[in-house]
Amino acid sequence: MPVERTLSIVKPDGVRRNQIGEVYRRFEGAGLRIVAARMLQLTTSQAELFYEVHRGRPFYGDLVRYMSSGPVVAQVLEGEDAIARNRQIMGATDPKKAVPGTIRADLAESIEANVVHGSDSPETAVREIAFFFSTTELCPRA
Ligand code: UDP
Ligand code: MG
């Protein structure tokens, strides 16, 4: 398995409900390392750009409003097969369809307010990491 990096976000609902630590515990418990982290509130235009791939979908406007509604915590996770493993730890987009034990099944309120974002491919991970972090902000492995 290759060592990969992936972009993860604790979304505004997760920050609001004090779930940052619980989410980090799950990443670290699964052996993923947090190699960069940052809290910020996205502007409307930043949220529009981040979710550009979904522009035109019926949920896009609400998604942009929700993602810019409060602070988020963005982190880069590193580990073997990190992209797919993070997606497994997150669970399905719709918490009702997510496997018990995943972040979304256990913590999410709705298909929109679903606690976490995670990159879905190596190409997306490169783009999304660069969206939040410069190369010098990514820490080398301990
Ligand atoms: N989303 C939504 N309604 C939908 C599908 C997605 O509100 O029917 C939101 C949800 O917050 C989701 C995000 O849009 O996490 C991005 O959707 P995507 O299909 O990329 O899901 P993800 O990769 O986050 O599982
Ligand atoms: Mg996605």
pLDDT by position in tens, the chain (length 142)? 899 999 999 999 999 999 999 999 999 999 999 999 999 999 999 999 999 999 999 999 999 999 999 999 999 999 999 999 999 999 999 999 999 999 999 999 999 999 999 999 999 999 999 999 999 999 865 4
Q: Is the CB of 63 under 6 A from ligand 1?
A: yes
Active-site entry in 78, 117, 119, 125:
117
Contact 115, 23 (CB under 8 A): yes
**Catalytic residue flag (residue 54):** no
CA 133, CA 135: separation in Å to the nearest integer? Answer: 6
DSSP state of 110: S
22 lines ligand 1 (CB under 6 A): no
Sign of CA dihedral 102, 33, 15, 58: negative
Distance CA 36, CA 13 (A): 21
